[in-house]
Structure 1
Amino acid sequence: MRLLVVGSDRVDAGKTTFSTGLLHRVDGLGFKPRAGNDHWFDHDDVVRAVADGRLYGKDAKRLAAASAADVRPEAINPIHRLWRPAPAGGTGIVGRGDRRLVADRLRTPDGDEFVVGAAADVPDVVREGLPLDGATVVDSAAALDEVTRERYLPALERLAERVVDCERAVVESYGDVAVPLRDVSFDAVAAVEPGRVRVFDGERYLRATEVVGGSARGGRLEESVGDVIDVVDPTATVALPALPDEDRTDPAAVADAYEVAFDAVLAAALE
């Protein structure tokens, strides 16, 4: 069984909370193809990770902890991007005027490698904690696109193979990207937003992504969740109650609070 969790709110849809509860419900393995955090806004998370010579975010950490198997965040999240704010503006090599690429951590068959932005101004704590001396340096969008083709896409293909081979997989997308992995079929899709989830048949959802096409984002063609769910009807729409902090971080409590929503996801998957 392969289940996809996407967010129809680009900022904080509640995808990870929903995914951890779903993992508890199905006793599955979680995956996060791409993730990222910010040295300023997620400072404590970054410092904790780089102190161990690692780079990962709290979403992948929560998914790993909620998974049925003992996995490290990096093993289920092959690409993690570290940003830092750019108050002076400008477009940057990834098309964002408000932040700059500091470093990407890329999972390879031989371990983790790093890609650094040429104008990154890497924070001291990051430079001291991560093995960046041999990192690939990119100085333009074209250079990043080349690295993406040669190294990032194969990393995602390797993850896709693991998802396909997994008996019960929950894949969490990033931002409002409709499909985080290509060439993977899903039995059901849950589009989460604050206050509700819309559940879709996996095959129909993926067909809808082909209908809407994609828009250019950072050198990639990606369909947004909003565009896709505008052209496909959900099998169910379920209200999601607001949860206190102690419940949001407890997969069992999420599974209990979202029981009706998870029932709807499994009904769509098994239809």
Structure 2
Amino acid sequence: MILLVVGADRVDAGKTTFSAGLLERTGAVGYKPRAGNDFWFDHDDCRRALADGRLYGKDAARLSTADGRGRSPERLNPVHRLWRPAPDGGTGLLGRADREFLVDRVGRDGDDPLFVRNATAEVPARVAEALPLEDAVHVESVGEFNDLAEERYLPAFERLAAEIEAADVAVVESYSDIARPLEALSPSSIAAVAAVEPGRARIYPGDRYCRACEIASSSPRDGAIEKRVPDVLDYLDPIDRVSLPALGSDRQNDPAQVARAYDDAYEALLEVAGRV
């Protein structure tokens, strides 16, 4: 059974806090298929990982701790992207006007990851010194990146999807406000979805949510761009809407306290999942 947690707000929706409490509540296995952070805005988090010659983010680290299985953040998160702001604008290699992609980590084995470097960007010295980028794959165009994605990224996602689908209960957290963080997951395996935003969670059956993702992805306005949660939810009515109380940082960082505070939302999510 897969419980999918998505964000209905692009920034600070509360997905990781919700997911950590859900892991505590259910004893599930946690996953964050894709993640990223910014060398400027998340600098402390970057320095912490880079100090060990690694690249991961605080969300995967929090889920790893809440999961309680002693797994490294990389085991939960096969692809992590490091960004940097682009004050002068421009589209950059991957089409973002406000920031540029620097480095990706691909793979779940902390001892032997693949690093992918944007050859059109200047990588900060701290990053270049911490990571073995001399062995990285350099990409200079979207075409090169797409070819590499098919060869290396997609197999990593497919292996992760097979592991998730084999779990008794898995909690999968999306990134930003992306509707489906792992296309390789069979829609039939997703039992229920929680769309989280500040102050509330909306609960949906997994099959209806995935059908809405397919409808949204056929929109000529969006084309091939990843579907965003607000666009998908336009096609759905939630089974339930549950208020989420505001939590101080001490409670947010304690999965047991989150589980108690968000118990009504978790009960609603599990009730919908139990109908599958």
Q: How far does residue 159 in structure 1 lie from its aligned partner after superposition?
A: 0.8
Q: Is the 8 A contact 1:214 1:222 kept in 2?
A: no
Q: 1:207 aligns with which of 195, 205, 211?
A: 211
Q: Is the 8 A contact 1:215 1:223 kept in 2?
A: no
Question: Closer, same or farther in 2 for the Cα pair 1:180/1:4, shift >3 Å?
Answer: same
Question: Closer, same or farther in 2 for the Cα pair 1:196/1:2, shift >3 Å?
Answer: same
Give the residue type in structure 1 aligned to 2:77.
N
**In the alignment, what sits opposite 1:154?**
155
Q: Is the 8 A contact 1:104 1:114 kept in 2?
A: yes
CA distance in 1, matches of 2:28, 2:13: 21
**In the alignment, what sits opposite 2:264?**
260
SS of corresponding position for 1:170: strand
Q: Is the 8 A contact 2:200 2:243 kept in 1?
A: yes
**In the alignment, what sits opposite 1:22?**
22
Give the residue type in structure 2 aligned to 1:123.
P
**In the alignment, what sits opposite 1:135?**
136
**In the alignment, what sits opposite 2:250?**
246
Equivalent runs, 1:2-151 vs 2, <5 Å:
2-107=2-107, 111-151=112-152
Q: How far does residue 128 in structure 1 lie from its aligned partner after superposition?
A: 1.0
SS of corresponding position for 1:238: strand
Q: Which of structure 1's runs of 4+ aligned residues deviate more than 4 A?
A: none
**In the alignment, what sits opposite 1:169?**
170
Give the residue type in structure 1 aligned to 2:228.
S
CA distance in 1, matches of 2:152, 2:77: 14
Q: Is the 8 A contact 1:214 1:221 kept in 2?
A: no
Q: How far does residue 64 in structure 1 lie from its aligned partner after superposition?
A: 0.7
Q: How far does residue 211 in structure 1 lie from its aligned partner after superposition?
A: 1.7
Question: Closer, same or farther in 2 for the Cα pair 1:74/1:143, shift >3 Å?
Answer: same
CA distance in 1, matches of 2:237, 2:99: 36
1:78-130 deviation per Cα after TM superposition (whole angstroms, max 9, x unaligned)? 00000111112111011112211110000067831100001221111111111
**In the alignment, what sits opposite 1:227?**
231
Give the residue type in structure 1 aligned to 2:176.
G
Question: Closer, same or farther in 2 for the Cα pair 1:214/1:225, shift >3 Å?
Answer: farther
SS of corresponding position for 1:12: coil
CA distance in 2, matches of 1:47, 1:220: 34
Q: How far does residue 214 in structure 1 lie from its aligned partner after superposition?
A: 5.4
Q: How many residues align?
A: 269
Alignment gaps of 5+ in structure 1: none
CA distance in 2, matches of 1:255, 1:210: 32
Identity %: 55
- Cα RMSD (Å) of the superposition? 1.6
Question: Closer, same or farther in 2 for the Cα pair 1:98/1:202, shift >3 Å?
Answer: same
SS of corresponding position for 1:35: strand
Q: Is the 8 A contact 1:215 1:221 kept in 2?
A: no
TM-score by length of 2: 0.94
Q: How far does residue 131 in structure 1 lie from its aligned partner after superposition?
A: 0.8
Alignment gaps of 5+ in structure 2: none
Q: Is the 8 A contact 2:7 2:176 kept in 1?
A: yes
